[in-house]
Structure 1
Amino acid sequence: MNDYVILVGLGEVGINIFREFFIVENDVELTAIDNSYNRVNEVNDYVKSKNPQSVDLCVYGDPLDHNVLINVGLKRCNKLILALDQDADNLAVAQTVKRLMENLSEDEKKHNLEIISIVWNNENKDLFSLLDVQKTLGVSDNILNIVNQISRPSFPINILDIEGTDNRIFTIKISSESKSIGKKVLEIRIPFKIIYLGIIDSFGNCELLNSDTVLNDGDLLIFSTSKRHQNLLNRYF
């Protein structure tokens, strides 16, 4: 079953998170909520410009309203991303969601809900943990890294188009369930051309690949291949 993500807020950070999710085109189902009618229309128009067949992915409403949260599918949501422009607003939504979930029966809770919030002031992180926010991400974090942490870890993310070709540069995070863990890169048999560019380990160390490089949990692999192969890559990593 695909993950269902609700994004709250289409402001400075939220809009970029939304666009990266949309560009990645993974198996994540995404709905965004914002209380600005203009922002909602703008993003829905952007989606339609890229895919005329798409339904509206953004909903106008107050994320503090229980009915709005229920109507966008909170009961079946896997991940709730709070990306409003102030910590106080994100905390208020987290508190609202906590109370709402506490009042739902076990039968009504379709999935375990993970709440993820952008934090503008690191001193507020403890407040978020008190409201069952499982993960906090700094506003200065790279948007691609945020999306990579939220979406399925083994799904490749396109970070750069190579002009004049159909090749792209991708990153893919090696998850704990990956079949490639413990293998040398050259032992992974891939039936199409791929050029390995580097690897960033779980400690943030960046290095070039060689014949003895072994993949470990949390490694971020950087490589180039044709965009035609993007949806095949997670079969091998």
Structure 2
Amino acid sequence: MADTVEEHPHLRVLIVDDHPLFRSGLRAALDSAEDIDVVGEAGDAETLGALVADTRPQVVVMDVGLPGISGTEAVRGLAASHPGLPVLMLTMSQDDASVLAALRAGARGYLVKGSGRDAVLSAVRTVATGGAVFGPEIADRIAALLSGARRALPDQPFPELTRREGEVLELVARGYDNRRIARELVLSDKTVRNNVSRIFAKLQVTRRAEAVSQARDAGLGAPPPARDRRSPHPM
């Protein structure tokens, strides 16, 4: 269970982000506040549970697009292992799928990178005391989704992708390699590679595992139909 704010004069914060320069700048911004101490940093979520146990933060500030275990998966894990520990997502990802997946996993706040120092400090303090915080861009998206102005998952989990890129990402999420995707969609290997590259750029990932993680968080990669479970046809 996370420590309560009243037990410490300073608010204890853990940063999880895979960009060292951003972590450094964020740490400087947080440490500049008289009531906040950064008690630890991590570049991924692989050992996050142990780090939380060692540093006992009261708030975790985390990116969505982490290598290996995604930020959304990490939030879900913390909700199970450290219930009551608030997580503030601070990320470049603004698409509806990432926002909804993070909130469903248990995140208490969602800001985009580029938010001002005062906005970040206020968000950290707010989630620490049980509140929820969303940047202006995110609040607008949530309002639109709740009002029905946009379709939520799973119809169009990544609206920035073209229809073809969405089809390719679905198969990537199922674990198919490029060669099998080309066979399934009747495309050339080069076309599939190009689509995968564009998908990586739009999802702001550099590894296939990160794309798979985001896609599965958004509900893609469901068990394939019966015909896909048979052995592939010989070439």
TM-score category (smaller protein)? 0.3 to 0.5
Report the TM-score when normalising by structure 1: 0.41
Structure with bigger strand share is 1
Structure with bigger helix share is 2
Report the TM-score when normalising by structure 2: 0.41
